[in-house]
Amino acid sequence: MNKQAEAEKRNHRKLGQQLELFLSMEEAPGMPFFLPKGMVLRNKLEELWKEKHAQAGYDEIKTPIMMKQQLWEQSGHWDHYHENMYFSEVDNQRYAIKPMSCPGAVLIYNSKLRSYRDLPMRYAELGLVHRHELSGSLNGLLRVRSFTQDDAHLFVREDQIEQEVEKVLHLIDDFYSLFGFSYEVELSTRPEDFMGSPAVWDKAEAALENVLKRQGTAYKVNAGDGAFYGPKIDFHILDSLGRSWQCGTVQLDFQMPEKFDCSYIDQENSRKQPIMIHRAIYGSIERFMAILIEHYAGDFPFWLAPVQASILPISDAHADYARAVGEELQKAGYRVSVDDRSEKIGLKIREGSQQKVPYLLIVGDNEMQNKTVAVRKRPEGNLGEMSLENLIEQFEA
């Protein structure tokens, strides 16, 4: 099969509907509706994210979705971004719905006096943001107007920049390896509409380049494609069809701490300005989900599958036993469904296969009598009869 036909077969909009993961509706263009199975997938990605960030020494925060317009003017987003923002008026004051989470993290940092001993401070946020996209460019979960960025903002001393960037690169590699993604790395340098002085930019670019060279990471320079506030390292993951998707990013920012007068007290009892590192791994939950759907063609690994096993009674006489099996597996912590409709078993198997459920467990007279299930696993097929104990061992293998 050629690449284009295979890509069409894996189209996340088509599979999203077939697997009942999400919907796009005219009532909210570019703002996806997540269905129960889609929420399981989304929650597993978020749980993984929270767990790995807690282990890596991040503190999770949540900042308001709407803040005063003057904040966005102060941050520089207004000058560079206001055409892509949504606005509202409350009590005769102009508010903006956040297109990014960074100013909120800065306000939390500035909420108390900081010491050099407090740094680095690593704030992580699954932040819901809104950005205006032209209606013609909207595309399922890949191009949306409302999405959740897996943001983190690190406040560091100058002597901590390189070691913190290095830790971020290791964390990104850890995530992508888990999903079987290889990736390419790009260093994006000063754009035409940059903020700050060229000397500061040179220093920031050199710091990122030093880390990449020290780690022996192959990278290419993308001249002029940095963010307006600092240079960045971008990660382009390669899916199972070899297509490239830009997801992760690490951005150095000397500008925003200056604009918001961020400071910490150093060893000499003087005020110093921290440097900010902006960082994302998934990029956005929605976009990463779209990439995963296409990467796996909807055949998610067992730990990620919305329904891990479906129990299919052959007739109504086997339905109670099927439900009892379902309850046992749920108690053991697995996501299962019971298809107890009065339909032919062939139809149930076919529909379970179309839903790409990793395990179909068929129960009839033999299985009831032997307290077993007949196991069909994707893609291997029939594995024969198993006790629930043996089945759970198979799940955990």
Which of 84, 83, 89 minimizes the C-alpha distance to 66? 89
Structure-block tokens of residue 308: 């891990």
Residues 6+ apart with CB under 8 A from 314: 345, 362, 363, 364, 365
Q: Are 100 and 64 in contact (CB under 8 A)?
A: no
Residue 247 catalytic? no
Q: Which of 153, 190, 295, 348 is the catalytic position?
A: 153
Q: Which of 37, 53, 102, 234 is the catalytic position?
A: 102
Q: Which of 98, 130, 190, 232 is the catalytic position?
A: 232
Residue with tokens 């032997």: 370
- Residue at 315: amino acid letter: S
Residue 170 catalytic? no
Q: Which of 278, 279, 295, 356 is the catalytic position?
A: 278
Q: Which of 131, 167, 335, 378 is the catalytic position?
A: 131
Kindly list the distances between the CA atom of residue 153 and the CA atoms of 104, 187, 256, 356, in Å, as whole numbers in the listed order: 10, 19, 11, 38
Looking at the DSSP bridge assignments, the partners of residue 376 are 360, 382
- Residue at 156: amino acid letter: V
Q: Which of 150, 151, 239, 339 is the catalytic position?
A: 151
Residue 232 catalytic? yes
Distance CA 387, CA 121 (A): 50
Q: Which of 149, 255, 308, 355 is the catalytic position?
A: 149
Residue 259 catalytic? no
- Residue at 50: amino acid letter: K
Residues 6+ apart with CB under 8 A from 42: 34, 285, 289
* DSSP notation for 233-275: EEEEEE-TT--EEEEEEEEEESHHHHHTT--EE-TTS-EE--E
Looking at the DSSP bridge assignments, the partners of residue 278 are 153, 251
Strand order across the 219-222 sheet: 59-60, 121-130, 146-156, 275-284, 244-253, 232-238, 182-188, 219-222
Distance CA 30, CA 137 (A): 9
Active site residues: 102, 131, 149, 151, 153, 232, 278
